[in-house]
Homo-oligomer: A and B are copies of this chain.
Amino acid sequence: KKTANISFSNRGKTLEDELNDSNEYYLSNNIAVIHKKPVPIQIVNVKYPARSAAVITEAYFRSPSTTDYNGVWKGLYIDFEAKETTSKTSFPLQNIHEHQVKHMKQVIEQDGLAFFIIKFTTIDRYFILFYEYFEKKWERMIAGGRKSITLAEMEEMSIEMQASFQPRLDYLAALENHLQSLL
C-alpha cells in the first residue's frame, strides 16, 4: 500500500537489500562495480532430470572465508562486510568470523580498502568502520576485553552516514568525503 508520506526509514528493508540497491545504482551509473558474493554452498547431490534443469537435492551452507561484498571503484579495490545489530548501545563482535577478519587484514596489506558497514536497526543509524579501527577492538576482545564496540566508540571511530533515496546508502560518497578530508 503506497502512501504520500514517503519515508527514508529502514522498516522492512534489510541492510543487504539496501546495499544491493545501492550497488545496482552504482553499476548502472558507472560509478563502481561492486557485487555481493554468492553464499558458499557445499553440494552433495545433484539430479539431472530428462528435459529439465539440474536439481541440487542435497547441499549444506558453508561458512564464508571472505566478506560479503567486493569490487572496484575508481581503481580502488573495495572489500566490506555488512552487519546489522538490534542493540541500541553496542555492536557485538561474536558473529564476526575470525577468517573474515584475517581476510580483511590481507586486503589492507595489498592496499585494498576494507571496512564494515554496520546498521543499528533499532535506532536507524549507519556506520562505516575501517578495518584498521575495527582491529583495535577485535584485539581488545582477544586480549580478554569487552566483546563489543560501544555506540560511543563507534561514533568516535567511524563515518556515520544517512539513508537516502537514490542511492539508498551512498557509502562511496561517504568514503570519498572522508578520503578527501585526509588530504
Contacts and interface: CB of A to CB of B under 8 A. Distances in A.
Contact of A38 (B30, B38, B60, B79): B38
Interface centre among A43, A56, A57 (most CB of B within 10 A): A56
Contacts of A53: 60-61
Contacts of A106: 27, 30, 33
A57 B41 CA distance: 12
A33 B111 CA distance: 10
A154 to B, nearest CB: 26
Interface string A17-31: 000000000010010
Interface in A95-126: 103, 106-107, 109-112
